[in-house]
Amino acid sequence: MKFFNLHTHKFTNNPDILELVNQYPMEFDESIPFYSIGIHPWHIKESQIDSELQIIEEKLSTLNCLAVGECGLDKRIETPLEQQSAVFEKQLFLAEKYQKPVVIHCVAAYQEVIAIKKKLKISVPMIIHGFSKNSQVADQLIKEGFYLSFGKYLLQNPDLKTVFQQIPDNHFFLETDTIEENIQQIYNLASDYKGLKIKELQSVISGNYKDVFGFD
């Protein structure tokens, strides 16, 4: 593995990249080698929750399923936060049961996500994907044991440079999510920001991958 893409919706089948492809329970693709699976807060449908959780649990028992998610909380959608929280918590219980990390979608709800982690005493690694906030939020999340994944906003927002530079090397990942740019471009920018050679950055992220996912 030269590159690790923590979160993507596009499977490229590039042999140099280990891609954690986001999958939805009702649209599962057996051909994707490594994936996360979860109920995104945008796609919560009351009538499907139980059946989707059943599918998620089935997949979590396999080696190809590396994580739960993306799942989480989003205050900028119409779905009530109470319902989002209930669905999120059920997925966290499964993550604990199968000892899988969690890829988290969080919009304007960081305090709530932190509170749920504490309330449920979650022990598995939790990764905030697509991080775009300031150093104060980043510091609090890292203090609470979260990992942060950077991608789209690192490319689009120059102000995120100083935030990213202050993230401890053992607490971040890189991703492409839905953007057209490839993971190598994200690595190039990240290596520049961190003052690391590409091989050094690859070593850092490989170490984080081993720590979080338990694989070499």
- For 44-68, the pLDDT digits (tens) are 999 999 999 999 999 999 999 999 9
Cα separation of 207 and 215, whole Å?
9
Instruction: Out of 3.20.10.10, 3.10.20.30, 3.40.50.300, 3.20.20.140, select the CATH number for domain 3-213.
Output: 3.20.20.140
Domain boundaries, the chain: 3-213
pLDDT of residue 216: 58
Report the share of the chain in percent with pLDDT over 90.
98
Q: How confident is the model over 30-40, as a mean pLDDT?
A: 97
| Confidence tier at 1 by pLDDT (50, 70, 90) | confident
pLDDT tens digits, one per residue of 70-128: 999 999 999 999 999 999 999 999 999 999 999 999 999 999 999 999 999 999 999 99
pLDDT of residue 215: 75
Task: Dig out the tokens for 111 from the structure.
Answer: 């305090």
> Burial level of 205, CB count in 10 A (0-12/13-18/19+)?
buried
State the residue for tokens 């796609």.
43
Answer yes or no: pTM beyond 0.75.
Answer: yes
Which helix H or strand E contains 8, and what residues bound it? strand 3-8
Cα separation of 206 and 4, whole Å?
7
Nearest CA among 153, 131, 152, 130 for reference residue 140: 131
| Edge-to-edge order in the sheet of strand 126-128 | 3-8, 17-23, 35-37, 65-74, 102-107, 126-128, 147-150, 172-174
pLDDT tens digits, one per residue of 196-205: 999 999 999 9
Q: How confident is the model over 141-157, as a mean pLDDT?
A: 97
